[in-house]
Every structure is written in C-alpha cells, then in structure tokens.
Chain A
C-alpha cells in the first residue's frame, strides 16, 4: 500500500534556525497534507497541497511538491522552541481520498 515516508526521522536544531523535512511517496496522489503533533496530543493540520500545486505558504511554513520526484518538503523558518513536535505527511491514493501517514519526523528545537 502507498505510504508517505518522512526524512529525517529526527532533527535537532537551535532556535532561530530553519528546519526542513521531506516526504516521499510511491504512487500518484490528489492531495498531500502536513500535520504537527505535540507529545501526547492530537494532530494539528498545517498545510494541504494539491497535486496541481507546486508551493504553498502559511506564516513561517513553506511546503513544496514535486510530483515528478514524488516528494514534498516542509520548511519551517526561524524555528522556535514551541515548534518542537512530530511532523507527519499524509498522502492519498489517486481518486480515493484514502490517506496514509508516514512515520514522522521528530523535531527538537533547542532554546
């Protein structure tokens, strides 16, 4: 079955630095979504990008999608300690809206 896979599995940076995490998938998609999850909490939606879009921004977040490489990246600029969380991508199989999540990138932002 198709599943997004995040890379790296863990990332540790200093406050103020940028954080980049990647998501790769296997088949064609309609939508790709990024979520954040703080430890022991629910998922918070960050950005949804559709297959015909290449880049989206939301505040300090920038998401790109390269359908030829079947990959997406999430960039968090000027990171803060509050950005410490796990980040997941979710991808759907073409025409089915059947979303699979990757195993996530655990981001630690040191103050």
Chain B
C-alpha cells in the first residue's frame, strides 16, 4: 500500500521550460490536492479536485494547469516556469480521514 506517490523528488528547470509533476494515490480517495510551500511558510493550495474530471482553483493557481483524468492520478503542469515557482510541491488526497501527503517535489527554477 504505497499511499500517495509523487514524482519526481527533485527538479531543476530553466526559466521558460515546462514540466509535469505526477501524483497517484491508491486509497480510492475522491479528493486530491496540489500545494506549494515556500521557505518558512505554510502550504498554499494551488488546485483542488473533488472527483475524477473536476478541478477547482485554489489560492495560487496562476502559472499552473492540472489534469484529473482518473480517480488515481492528479498531475500539475508548469507551462513556462518562472523563478517565482521555485518551491516544494506537495500532492495530497483525502477520503474523510486525515490528508495523506506525498513526499514532495523540490523544484528550482533558475
């Protein structure tokens, strides 16, 4: 039982490059989330998905797109990375119990 699996763990991008962060959960949860955490700060919600095929903007959605093609997977895409997107990204899922988090992706944009 892997829980929430997030890839990659680390990534360095140049400004303007694109990439997709992958997230998958095996707990049959409906709700999935993408958060970012900047140094010394709390988690800020980027996007939320209540169920397969639905997505909803969070606090800081600009510069990101998401895709929830099935119940297990929720991906986050940066189309044109900017230095301001340097952060640690966490994927999470929720099924009525505590939020389950992935291990995070440390992204640096130079």
Inter-chain contact A100/B99, CB cutoff 8 Å: no
* Residues A42 and B94 in contact in the complex (CB < 8 Å), given A88-B43, A98-B48: no
Query: Smallest distance from the beta carbon of B38 to chain A beta carbons, Å?
Result: 11
Contact mask A24-41 → B, CB, 8 Å, 1/0? 000000000101000000
Q: How far is the CA of A99 from the CA of B91 in the complex (A)?
A: 12
Inter-chain contact A48/B97, CB cutoff 8 Å: yes
- What DSSP secondary structure best describes chain B's contact surface? strand
B residues 39-55 near A (Cβ < 8 Å) are 41-45, 48, 50
Q: State the total of A-B contacts with C-beta under 8 angstroms.
A: 52
Q: How many residues of A contact B (CB 8 A)?
A: 19
Q: How far is the CA of A66 from the CA of B90 in the complex (A)?
A: 29
> Beyond the given A90-B43, A99-B45, could you list 5 further A-B residue pairs with CB under 8 A, ordered by the A residue number?
A43-B99, A96-B50, A97-B31, A98-B48, A98-B50
Interface, chain B (partner A; CB < 8 A): 31, 33, 35, 41-45, 48, 50, 56, 58-59, 90, 92, 94, 97-99, 101, 103-104
Interface, chain A (partner B; CB < 8 A): 1, 3, 33, 35, 42-43, 45, 48, 88, 90, 96-104
